[in-house]
Amino acid sequence: MAEPTPQPALYLLATLPPEPVLADVWALKQEVHRRTGSRNAVRLPPHITLIPPFRLVPADFEPRALPVLADFAAAQPPVQVRLRDFDWFGDRTLFVRVVEAEALQQLHAALQARCRAALPEVPRETRPFTPHMTLATRDLPPAQVPELKANFAARRYAATFLVTTLTLFRHDGRQWQPRQEFPLGGG
C-alpha cells in the first residue's frame, strides 16, 4: 500500500492586537457569528493579515522560515495601528477599518521584500495590501447582509494599539494554530 501524499501545509502571517482591543474585536466577531451563523468569523482570533494564507509542500519551510522571520521582526520598530469604525469588501467581508496605515504599509512592504529574497516560496500578493481586521467573511448568508450592513453603519468603534509582534499561523486541517511569535525590535 502506497504512503498517502502529504497535504501541503497552509500558513499565514499576521499581527494580533493586545488587550483590550483583542477582547473587544473578539466580542464583535462572536456577535456576528451568533447573528448570522458565520463560522469563518470565529476561526481565527482578531488579527491583521500581513501575508495571506498560502500552501506549501516543502517540509523544510518552517525550520527555514522561523529564523528569517525572527531576524526580520527584530529589525523592525513597533508600529502604531488605529482602528476606526467598520467597512465592507463587497457583500462578503465585514471588517474594522485600519486608518492612518502608513507605518503598517511600510512594514508589509519590507516583509514582502524579505520574503522575496529569503523565502521565495511565499507567493507574491496579487491584490493591493489593505490592512483591516476581519469580523466575518465568505460565509455570510446573503439575506442577512443588508441588515448587518445597516447595523454596522450605525455603530462607532475606535482603538489604537502598538504592534509589537508578528505571529505565524499554520492550519491543522480544522483550525489555525499559532506556530511562533516574532517580537518586533523594542517590542
Question: How do residues 164-180 score in pLDDT, each as one tens digit?
Answer: 999 999 998 888 999 99
Question: How do residues 113-150 score in pLDDT, each as one tens digit?
Answer: 999 999 998 998 888 999 999 999 889 999 999 999 99
Residue position matching grid coordinates 460565509:
139
User: Strands, DSSP E only, in 90-148?
Assistant: 93-99, 132-137
Residue 1 is predicted with a pLDDT of 56
The list of the chain residues with pLDDT below 70 reads 1-7, 57, 186-187
Cα separation, 140 vs 41, whole angstroms: 9
Q: What are the residues facing 176 on neighbouring strands?
A: 171
pTM across the whole model: 0.91
Residue position matching grid coordinates 494580533:
16
Residue 58 is predicted with a pLDDT of 77
b/e burial code for range 153-180 (CB count within 10 A of at least 16 → b): eeeeeeeebebbbbbbbbbeeeebeebb
b/e burial code for range 26-48 (CB count within 10 A of at least 16 → b): bebbeebbebbebebbbebbbbb
For the domain spanning 9-183, the CATH number is: 3.90.1140.10
Residue 187 is predicted with a pLDDT of 47
Q: What ranges do the domains of the chain cover?
A: 9-183
